[in-house]
Amino acid sequence: MYQEINVYQFRDEFNAIRPDNFSYDGLTVLYDYFEELENDLGDKVELDVVSLCCDFSEYDNLKELNEDYGNKYESLDELANETLVLPFPDSERFIIHNF
């Protein structure tokens, strides 16, 4: 059984279980990604907050990611060759699928 939720309910689910994993804007980026994925697949995606918190990470910039991963990515395009990158509009911030 699936229940459709809007972006506000999506944020509420994360804030109830894992309030410190993603920013307000980060949750919007994730929600938009999964909405688009559902449209592309023609199928519903199950919301599992804990799993998503384990699978995705939010970064303020490439320097922060490079410190975590010990790499020297020069751009988000270069990083996108390794994993899914969800950039924030008009910002250096982004979310990645952990690898």
The greatest distance separating any two alpha carbons of the chain, rounded to the nearest whole angstrom, comes to: 44
Q: For residues 56 and 69, give the distance between their C-alpha atoms in angstroms, rounded to a whole number.
A: 14
* Banded pLDDT at 1 (limits 50, 70, 90): low
Asked if the model's pLDDT at residue 6 lies above 70, the reply is: yes
Average pLDDT, the chain: 95
Length of the chain: 99
Question: Does any domain span residue 1?
Answer: no
Take residue 83 and report the two structure tokens written for it: 């994993």
Reported confidence tier of residue 38, pLDDT bands at 50, 70, 90: very high
Tell me, yes or no, whether 25 lies in a domain. yes
Residue 27: predicted pLDDT: 98
Q: Does residue 2 lie in a domain region? A: no
Residue 46 lies in a domain: yes
Q: Which domain holds residue 78?
A: 7-97
Where does the pLDDT of residue 61 fall: very low under 50, low under 70, confident under 90, or very high at 90 and above?
Answer: very high
| Mean pLDDT of all residues in 36-59 | 96
Mean pLDDT of 37-66: 96
Report the pLDDT value the prediction gives residue 71, as an integer from 0 to 100: 84
Residue 29, burial from CB neighbour count under 10 angstroms (0-12, 13-18, 19+): buried
Q: Which H/E stretch holds residue 97?
A: strand 94-97
Tally of structural domains, the chain? 1
Q: What is the mean pLDDT of residues 40-52?
A: 94
Instruction: Give the number of C-alpha atoms closer than 13 A to the C-alpha of residue 29, restricted to the C-beta side.
Output: 23
